[in-house]
Amino acid sequence: MQMLKHDLVYLTEDASHDAVIELINAEAFGPGRFAKAAARIREQGPHDRSLSFVCADDGETIASVRMTPVHAGEVKGHLLGPLAVRPSHKNRGIGRELVRIAVEAARRHGSEAVILVGDPPYYMPLGFERVSYDALKFPGPVDPGRVLVVPMAEGVHPRLKGTIGWRG
């Protein structure tokens, strides 16, 4: 009998992961990934490695989630993304676990909200809610129905109004 053994480990991102994360994101999103509105925010400044995570299988990095500090209207939060899992490792709960770890890390860090642009059917069961239609102005076009938030402070929704951009 052959046993498939997997040794999945979740790690805080460090600089040694940069090259493989670039490959994972290229494979998941293709060349159009830099044109997205969320990518334009990420170009404004660095992500926060201490809140960004990878998953490794037997030492090989196979998934990544990154978090970037943002002002979203009056809210001091974090933008989640990119989230990508290598095709060989999809549908094992790795994406969900990376989102959970990143949101909890941001919460412990004192972040007021985790915001992303993504598919509601995937993220809403993970605690994300829709942001009021067109409340946030992104540096590029977004589908307002895909702008989602985990509020982690009092009165987040009414304060999510205005521009979203990188926070130093």
Ligand X SMILES: CC(C)(COP(=O)(O)OP(=O)(O)OC[C@H]1O[C@@H](n2cnc3c(N)ncnc32)[C@H](O)[C@@H]1OP(=O)(O)O)[C@@H](O)C(=O)NCCC(=O)NCCS
Cα distance between residue 152 and residue 158, in whole Å: 13
46 vs 3: CA distance, rounded Å: 42
Of 118 and 151, which CB lies nearer to ligand X in the complex structure? Answer: 118
Tokens (6 digits) for 122? 């995937």
Q: What is the DSSP letter of 157?
A: H
Q: Which stretch binds ligand X (CB under 6 A): 15-23, 35-43, 77-85, 104-112?
A: 77-85
**Nearest distance from residue 95's CB to ligand X, in Å?**
2
Q: Is 134 exposed, middle or buried (0-12, 13-18, 19+ CB in 10 A)?
A: exposed
Q: Of 83 and 135, which has the nearer Cβ to ligand X?
A: 83
Of positions 108, 119, 132, 155, contacts ligand X by CB under 6 A: 119
**Residue 118 CB, nearest distance to ligand X (Å)?**
3
33 contributes a contact to ligand X by CB under 6 A: no
Q: DSSP class of residue 33?
A: G
The binder of ligand X chosen from 8, 45, 107, 122 (CB under 6 A) = 122
